[in-house]
């Protein structure tokens, strides 16, 4: 019985460690990013612990994009993000396919959906 409990506990710890390794780190978002004529600067701090402001683009310059605390869910970052082009808020899933890009996809509460990839400014 003790061996079964010890093995089970070890298995649970292994799964927990593996899940933590798969988690996306929002601090990797810090920097400047471009998407379709917009430049967004992400910094640590702000109301939700991380801030993403439109610093240049065709409109909405100065707009804060992050509208909720970003949370890890199933290896993704999820949160409410304001779209830089239309100002609508999307329930968004963020992935980090490589160090120089963030892929976002989500839908508004009314069902309008969008997706895009933000590339690091070098």
Domain at 33, CATH number: 2.40.128.20
Question: Is 4 within a domain?
Answer: no
For residue range 43-89, what is the model confidence (pLDDT) as tens digits? Answer: 999 899 999 999 999 999 999 999 999 999 988 999 999 999 999 99
Overall number of domains in the chain: 1
Q: Give the residue-averaged pLDDT of 2-16.
A: 37
Confidence label for 27 from pLDDT (cuts 50, 70 and 90): confident
Q: Give the residue-averaged pLDDT of 97-103.
A: 94
Query: What gap in Å lies between CA 53 and CA 93, rounded to an integer?
Result: 18
Question: Is 95 within a domain?
Answer: yes
Query: What gap in Å lies between CA 56 and CA 88, rounded to an integer?
Result: 18
Question: Is 76 within a domain?
Answer: yes
Question: Is 45 within a domain?
Answer: yes
Confidence label for 23 from pLDDT (cuts 50, 70 and 90): low
């Amino acid at each position: 019985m003790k061996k079964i409990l010890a093995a089970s506990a070890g298995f649970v710890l292994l799964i927990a460690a593996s899940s933590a390794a798969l988690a996306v780190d929002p601090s990797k978002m810090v920097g400047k990013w471009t998407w379709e004529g917009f430049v967004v600067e992400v910094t640590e701090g702000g109301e939700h612990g991380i801030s993403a402001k439109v610093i240049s683009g065709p409109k909405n310059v100065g707009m804060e994009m992050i509208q909720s605390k970003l949370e890890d869910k199933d290896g993704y970052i999820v949160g409410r993000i304001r779209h830089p082009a239309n100002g609508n808020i999307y329930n968004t899933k963020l992935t980090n396919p490589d160090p120089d890009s963030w892929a976002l996809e989500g839908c508004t509460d009314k069902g309008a959906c969008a997706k895009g990839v933000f590339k690091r400014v070098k």
